[in-house]
Structure 1
Amino acid sequence: MLSGSSASRASHPQARHLLRPLVSGPAVSRPSREPAGWIAPQQKRSFAQKKLPPNTPMPLPFQTKRYGFSSIQSMSGRRLSSSTAAPQPESIEPSGTEAINALIERINENEDQMAQLMDELDLMEEAENADELEEPLAIDGEEYTLESWVQMVRQQFGDTVPDGALNDEELQLYTSLYGEPSIRELTDEDIPEDEKDPGRLFREDGQGGWEEIEFEQSAEAQDDTPVVYDMDASPVLEETIAMQRTREVAEQLGGEVMMEQFVNEAVPDAAPRSHPLTREGKFETEPGTINLPKKTVTGPISIILSEFSNKHIADTAHRLFGGPGLPNSTTTPPPRAQLPQLPIPISASQHHMGEMEANAYLAALYPGIYASVLSVLVEVRKRLGTDWIRKLISQEGGPNVLDASGGGAGILAWRDIIRAEYQLMVPDHPEDAPVPYGRSTVLTGSEALRLRASAMLDNTSFLPRLPDYLHVREKPTLDDSRAAPKRKQYDVIIAPHSLLGFEEDYQRKEYVENLWQLLNPDGGVLVLLEKGRQKGFECIAGAREMLLKRHIASPNSTEYENFLDSPDSSRTIEKESGMIIAPCTNHSTCPMHNSAGPTKGRKDYCHFEQRYIRPPFLQRIMGAKDRNHEDIKFSYIAVQRGQDLRQQQNIQQNSEVTDAAFEGFEHLDEPTSPFHPLSLPRAVYPPLKRRGHVIFDLCTPAGKIERWTVPRSYSRQAYRDARKSNWGDLWALGAKTRIPRKLNLGEKHGEGKKERLARRAADKAASREVDEEGDLERDEEDEEYLDEDDDLSDIPDIPKRKKGQNIPSWKKHNDKKKLRQAYKRRATAEDAE
């Protein structure tokens, strides 16, 4: 049972709330270490078995306000305890001994029933664990220990502590630290305003105290908040001093204050939204970070990999793709790593691939290929428009798509594009109903990879190798008069990470030409993609140069001459219609590509970035614990065969449209002929967002790399959109200044870093030797020029340089200047004589 003092302190829960000024926010009541009015079972038993003297009534400890069994009162947020202390034996009035003994016998008989009742109310468990509750005090989420609570009470009240602020244990600690405090009773002044009863009214009684006033409070006055029944009506605004003064002035002038207008003027206008042309030129997915779909990508891969050991898959991936971090996979290591630029060691077309190698292909390569291909296909869909993709969906049999080197990841990305577009075409289409994906073909050389890809792709054909259309006849010949075999034609061909694996450049060109022959001549689209490194970009740029030179016609280049087919005379070949869809907005020579071949020391190259969330199985392989996303970098090109939007929509790509783009199309209500997204410059590097201005490095339609600056003073809309722009966006709102950007493209067969450092050291050593020889020669010339009888008082005394001595250049120039001036004065004096 609680002692009289402790029960008295527990009866004032408001004392605990006096420390509210020390913390912010509403106070949280301190959890009590033992319930008020609670009696342990062993205490009940000993108390019941104790024989009391005659005529002594037995106090009923169980009839308390908090844990009374006759009626359980509701608990508030405050700390509740027993409202009365146990009566002292001296105050007990004598009564009959028989009544007391009968009462004790009733307690013994009902002990089991009371214990069961306490178990039902969870009081026995709370009582048994009461001594173990050592939870610190929690106020506004902050925990306080016993010592910190005593320190807070000391800082707030000093030596005079309100009754109930400290329990016995805290009081003992307070006494040991600061001495015994003086206890004062709790008054109304100590109780915070929010703890007082809002339904009671007090007034001064004239004697320094307070007396309660009885009054009847209406139901309307109980709620201070006005009730608004009209949902469109706004609550009543309280008139401030400034608003009152404004109203008085308005009344004197014979006018009135429009409160709605006053409020609107006080709140600034919202920032302008993105310009429609800016949104049209965005290079990004929606959302910007790709989360691989679980139903079609990560879920099936996880099921396939669940049959194998995670450690074996990780070891195989590290062995194949360059160790931790998988630098030889689709992941692009940072340039500071200075790792060799190697192709992906395994390809979908190879015929020898084991079970674990196929698992590593799915786990390490599928996520990166899917994310990069999806990003490129979204950009192609934007540039070719809705009519192009809906025409493919509506044609008989649907689109015919070939994944030439992605192992099926490219088909998964393409199907997501088709699914999203078909949902827009048919809004009421059920989610589980089939979607017209068309015909899909995947190149898989090994049986292990084919089995895994077929489990993820339904209605898909698999080819062990690509057909060779470069070395087969196109028409009957003298040796074979039969008609030429029917060729396969694909509407979309996706070829990621397939060019870097070729050792020779001619093999790479033949591969691209073969893919071009596989395209549908009436609008087929070819997507080539490589890692965003120097060598990957050079492979893509080489394929672009070959396609522009031999196949894609431009206004100034409609044919080319082939000297190999006809040695005696040149053979002119007509180019066919076609265009570059992305990322280039010009069909001239790439300003970042050196047509002479690969270069060393290249710093600038065209590539882009896409962020995606790594699936759990790739996280385990990477050993990543803190970062679950990856920014994959890639270089790509998307071209179309047989159709040219430049001719159909009169799209210009030259210096004139570049100048028009520099002026900007911000105030262009209706796009005219000079404007089209394919005639806008593209940001080939991340925009430099500085304080007060944004710098773009743009590849213009004129085929040049320029640096455009958009300051805050240029245009509010343009500056806002420039701050929100990203890498790869097309820019349509112009700029204030433009300058050519200097590019570091390396040199043909140039030197690497080691060779460059060695050359600099050799040049420096050679310059020192030349300086030493020059100084010696000049010294000898000076000695020959001067006679023994000459007066050398006007010649400055410059100490001779010792062998191996390093003299600063400024000291050398200064000494030489003094000697020249001295000799000039001497020569002038001799001529005068």
Structure 2
Amino acid sequence: MWSRHMSSPFRNDDGSFIKGANAEEARLHDNTLKGRAHHTAIRLPDVIADTINNNILRLTSPGRLRTKVADIYQSVQKEQLQSAPTNGIEANAHIAALFLQDYAHCYQVLQELKKRMGPSFSPKRILTVGYGPATGMVALNEVMGDTFNPEYKDAYVIGRENREMKKRAKIILSRQLNEQPFGEIALEEAEEVAETETEDALTEEQAPETPEYVGPVDTTRIEIRTKLRDSLPTAKKYDLIIVNHSLLTKEHHFPRDVDVNMHMLLRLLEPQGHIVLVERGNSVGFETVARARQIMIRPESFEKERGKVPRPYIKGSSIKPQKLRHVDQIITEEHIKHEEKLLEELDKELGQYHASDSDISELEQTIIEKYGDVSEDDLKFEFEDDKRFEVNELGDPTLGPESVDYHLEIVAPCSHHSKCPLQLGDPKYYKIPSHKHRLKFCSFDKVVERPKYTMELKRGKKLATAWDKGAEDGFGFDTMKKSQVKKLSGSGRPGGNNTESGSFTYLIARRASNEISDIQKIEYERVHNASSEVDLSNPTNWPRVLDVPARVKNNVKLTTCAPSGNIEIWQIPKSLGKQEYHDARKVDQGDLWGLGKKSVLVKNQLSEKVRDKLDILSKTQKKTFKKEQRKKVWKKLVSQSEHDFENDIVKFSDVMATNLEQTKKYRKQGQKFDVDVSEYDGK
């Protein structure tokens, strides 16, 4: 048994895996392992989970907290966007409802960024932006480890009334070791703690339990390295910016909010820095990220370009490109080509002349015999070595008038810089109820383990039941029997799991180097890009798996976002190869695929004709929605009893008059009069 184990081709002599962290990864190809995402369920550290439970959530009544959390879930389901809490109870409910999944999504994306950049990834100046308790910074601290020691860390907590959320952010961050003020001694202690972490975990079970403190925390006495800000800075530059669910405030502000916020953030990004965007995995979140991607790389301006050459971001460039008019150019490309042609003809004529004329060669030979060979000093000008003249040496290369000193490239998840094949340009199209085109968007799922506070939270009738979204109360209690509702109260969490899954969409972009040589290299690659093929040996050009692979008999179908800029279904049959077929069956959503394909099926994109139809359907659906809303209001009015009409006729007439004044026809009719009809009292 032992000899068979030692002879395994996937293990070293000591029994450890040659590659990978487990037996499954040890059997994968190097390319598959390189493109593999973080598959294991994410776990929130126990010390942070206990702090949230004991020092934040237990300060609020459980019933009141569950009601607020239910309201947040309903709001997110309806608006598909997060909003800023305005008081302490709302801040607690926000953390209870959204922090766990937001943390898991940020952790997953930052893990990929760290893997793509390699061991040298260590940002020195960090900024996080979001509604929550500096969620991006909490996730980054866990990804980088206890000895993470950057120059400065800033966290912008969005909201005018953000004082309560900043207090909670301070409490959560204070439980991380790399948030303690670092000195030389403190850094050595942190390294010792990191080395003995495993031993402490083993002895912790044997040690007697100490009672945990439950209650409020005085945040004025807490010192952390992260500076919690009320606004974005203007003078600082960052090499890592994390934006968490905060690019868009209201759906009807799309795309203006995204454009303005992206321009504000990109001016803070320094050369060779990264910006990370994380949004909810719904249609609004996807279109928000797709719009931000469009702003950064402008795919519509480079339709013929292939690969992932960094794109110019003109608005952030300190040098604005100046394109000369054709009539203003002193020397054009046509002039250069014409002169090159004349020189070629002249060289041919001189070559023929020298070949046919032998007198010149004899004369030249006579001169050499009489005066000797020509030296380098004879070729110099008379004033070349004269000290009275100053000779200027060639300076450093400079950029031309059409150059830009700000370039961006997409790191993940896109494998190309073409137009996003799933982007529609507006979230409104996804709300059209009935049409034959199934509109899909790019999103990924992540499983996270539930800590104790979420298990306790999602108990009872409000958060443990499957909600009926179409019900009038949003929960579906009005359609259930009273006996069923009564059974749910205090019955624990029926059907609850120890894990939960949430979807997210994201984007990682990198600003290119600002050196003149690097900018000239980018410009050269752009000029010579149209005729070159995509380098599939580079992991950045590998296709991204967008959906769970379809495993059929002797074949695997991968739905991918391909480097061609299309959504393609790659066929990986058994005949392609044993290793390829084995790895294709182990691939999951979000992975990169680098082992090729046998055949491919390209999925069609929506045509302009279909988009025009969607515009018409969207307008029709909007009118229908408003009509239904008016019907609901009228139904409530006419369903009043006779008793209400007799006793509260004044209130009823006020409601009718208010609805009349809000109509478009009434306001348009009032423009014909000299007085404001909304203030006219009948005199």
Give TM class, smaller chain: 0.5 to 0.7
- The one-letter code of the counterpart of 2:166 is R
Higher relative contact order (CA 8 A, sep 6+): 2
- The one-letter code of the counterpart of 1:342 is Q
Q: How do 1:417-428 residues align onto structure 2 when only pairs under 5 Å count?
A: 417-419=143-145
Provide the residue aligned with 1:501 in structure 2: 249
Provide the residue aligned with 1:492 in structure 2: 240
Q: Distance in 2 between matches of 1:437 and 1:545?
A: 31
Q: Distance in 2 between matches of 1:573 and 1:551?
A: 19
Q: Distance in 1 between matches of 2:598 and 2:136?
A: 41
Note closer, same or farther for the CA distance 1:515–1:720 as it changes in structure 2 (3 Å cut): same
Residue 382 (structure 2) pairs with residue 632 (structure 1): no
Q: Distance in 1 between matches of 2:119 and 2:25?
A: 30
Asked if 2 retains the 8 angstrom alpha-carbon contact of 1:532 and 1:633, the reply is: yes
Greater displacement, 353-362 / 441-450: 441-450
CA shift digits 1:67-88 (9 cap, x unpaired)? xxxxxxxxxxxxxxxxxxxxxx
Residue 66 (structure 2) pairs with residue 314 (structure 1): yes
Provide the residue aligned with 1:618 in structure 2: 454
Q: Distance in 2 between matches of 1:604 and 1:371?
A: 23
Q: How do 1:718-733 residues align onto structure 2 when only pairs under 5 Å count?
A: 718-733=580-595
Provide the residue aligned with 1:343 in structure 2: 81
Query: How far apart are residue 628 of structure 1 and its match?
Result: 2.5
Q: How do 1:148-297 residues align onto structure 2 when only pairs under 5 Å count?
A: 273-285=27-39, 288-297=40-49
Provide the residue aligned with 2:291 in structure 1: 542
Q: How do 1:392-431 residues align onto structure 2 when only pairs under 5 Å count?
A: 392=123, 398-419=124-145
Provide the residue aligned with 1:749 in structure 2: 615
Q: How do 1:656-805 residues align onto structure 2 when only pairs under 5 Å count?
A: 661=536, 675-743=537-605, 747=611, 748-751=614-617
Does the residue aligned with 2:411 lie in a helix, a strand or coil?
A: strand
Greater displacement, 544-553 / 613-622: 544-553
Residue 420 (structure 2) pairs with residue 590 (structure 1): yes
Provide the residue aligned with 1:356 in structure 2: 89
Identity percentage over the alignment?
Answer: 26
Q: Distance in 1 between matches of 2:49 and 2:530?
A: 43
Report the count of equivalent residues: 415
Residue 169 (structure 2) pairs with residue 453 (structure 1): yes
- The one-letter code of the counterpart of 2:97 is A
Query: How far apart are residue 296 of structure 1 and its match?
Result: 3.1
Query: How far apart are residue 615 of structure 1 and its match?
Result: 2.1
Larger Rg: 1
Residue 478 (structure 2) pairs with residue 642 (structure 1): no
CA shift digits 1:83-107 (9 cap, x unpaired)? xxxxxxxxxxxxxxxxxxxxxxxxx
CA shift digits 1:683-715 (9 cap, x unpaired)? 122211222211011111121111111112221
Note closer, same or farther for the CA distance 1:461–1:755 as it changes in structure 2 (3 Å cut): closer
- Let me know the Cα RMSD of the aligned residues: 4.0
Q: Distance in 2 between matches of 1:508 and 1:590?
A: 17
Note closer, same or farther for the CA distance 1:755–1:307 as it changes in structure 2 (3 Å cut): closer
Note closer, same or farther for the CA distance 1:684–1:377 as it changes in structure 2 (3 Å cut): same
For structure 2, the residue ranges without an aligned partner over 5 or more in a row are 5-23, 174-223, 303-307, 326-400, 433-437, 465-492, 625-683
Query: How far apart are residue 555 of structure 1 and its match?
Result: 4.8
Q: Distance in 1 between matches of 2:101 and 2:529?
A: 33
- The one-letter code of the counterpart of 1:491 is D
Note closer, same or farther for the CA distance 1:361–1:572 as it changes in structure 2 (3 Å cut): farther
Asked if 1 retains the 8 angstrom alpha-carbon contact of 2:271 and 2:512, the reply is: yes
Provide the residue aligned with 2:262 in structure 1: 512
Provide the residue aligned with 2:429 in structure 1: 599
With the length of structure 1 as denominator, give the TM-score of the two structures.
0.45
Q: Distance in 2 between matches of 1:385 and 1:414?
A: 15
CA shift digits 1:721-773 (9 cap, x unpaired)? 011000011101111111102456973425269969x9xxxxxxxxxxxxxxx
CA shift digits 1:314-371 (9 cap, x unpaired)? 111112331xxxxx45xxxxxxxxx645311x22xx6xx2111111121112111100
Q: Distance in 2 between matches of 1:631 and 1:653?
A: 41
Provide the residue aligned with 2:657 in structure 1: none
Structure 1 or 2: more helix by fraction: 2
Asked if 2 retains the 8 angstrom alpha-carbon contact of 1:657 and 1:679, the reply is: no
Q: Distance in 2 between matches of 1:233 and 1:559?
A: 60
Residue 130 (structure 2) pairs with residue 381 (structure 1): no
Does the residue aligned with 1:546 lie in a helix, a strand or coil?
A: helix
Q: Distance in 2 between matches of 1:369 and 1:575?
A: 34
Asked if 1 retains the 8 angstrom alpha-carbon contact of 2:240 and 2:275, the reply is: yes
- The one-letter code of the counterpart of 2:560 is L
Note closer, same or farther for the CA distance 1:718–1:655 as it changes in structure 2 (3 Å cut): farther
Note closer, same or farther for the CA distance 1:552–1:609 as it changes in structure 2 (3 Å cut): farther
Q: Distance in 2 between matches of 1:233 and 1:716?
A: 26
Greater displacement, 586-595 / 532-541: 586-595
Q: Distance in 2 between matches of 1:441 and 1:362?
A: 20
Asked if 1 retains the 8 angstrom alpha-carbon contact of 2:127 and 2:241, the reply is: yes
Asked if 2 retains the 8 angstrom alpha-carbon contact of 1:549 and 1:560, the reply is: no
Provide the residue aligned with 2:660 in structure 1: none
Note closer, same or farther for the CA distance 1:543–1:636 as it changes in structure 2 (3 Å cut): same
- The one-letter code of the counterpart of 1:709 is Q
Does the residue aligned with 2:260 lie in a helix, a strand or coil?
A: helix
Query: How far apart are residue 499 of structure 1 and its match?
Result: 2.3
Q: Distance in 2 between matches of 1:653 and 1:722?
A: 31
- The one-letter code of the counterpart of 1:442 is A
- The one-letter code of the counterpart of 1:304 is I
- The one-letter code of the counterpart of 2:501 is D
Does the residue aligned with 1:306 lie in a helix, a strand or coil?
A: helix
Does the residue aligned with 1:321 lie in a helix, a strand or coil?
A: helix
Provide the residue aligned with 2:271 in structure 1: 522
Q: Distance in 1 between matches of 2:585 and 2:444?
A: 19
Does the residue aligned with 2:406 lie in a helix, a strand or coil?
A: coil
Q: Distance in 2 between matches of 1:703 and 1:551?
A: 12
Q: How do 1:803-814 residues align onto structure 2 when only pairs under 5 Å count?
A: none
Greater displacement, 633-642 / 399-408: 399-408
Note closer, same or farther for the CA distance 1:576–1:232 as it changes in structure 2 (3 Å cut): closer
CA shift digits 1:362-388 (9 cap, x unpaired)? 111211110000000011111122223
With the length of structure 2 as denominator, give the TM-score of the two structures.
0.54
Greater displacement, 543-552 / 304-313: 543-552
Query: How far apart are residue 560 of structure 1 and its match?
Result: 5.9
Residue 149 (structure 2) pairs with residue 436 (structure 1): yes
Q: Distance in 2 between matches of 1:529 and 1:654?
A: 32
- The one-letter code of the counterpart of 2:172 is M
Asked if 2 retains the 8 angstrom alpha-carbon contact of 1:585 and 1:679, the reply is: yes
**2:280 pairs with one of 531, 540, 553:** 531
Q: Distance in 2 between matches of 1:289 and 1:653?
A: 41
Does the residue aligned with 2:575 lie in a helix, a strand or coil?
A: coil
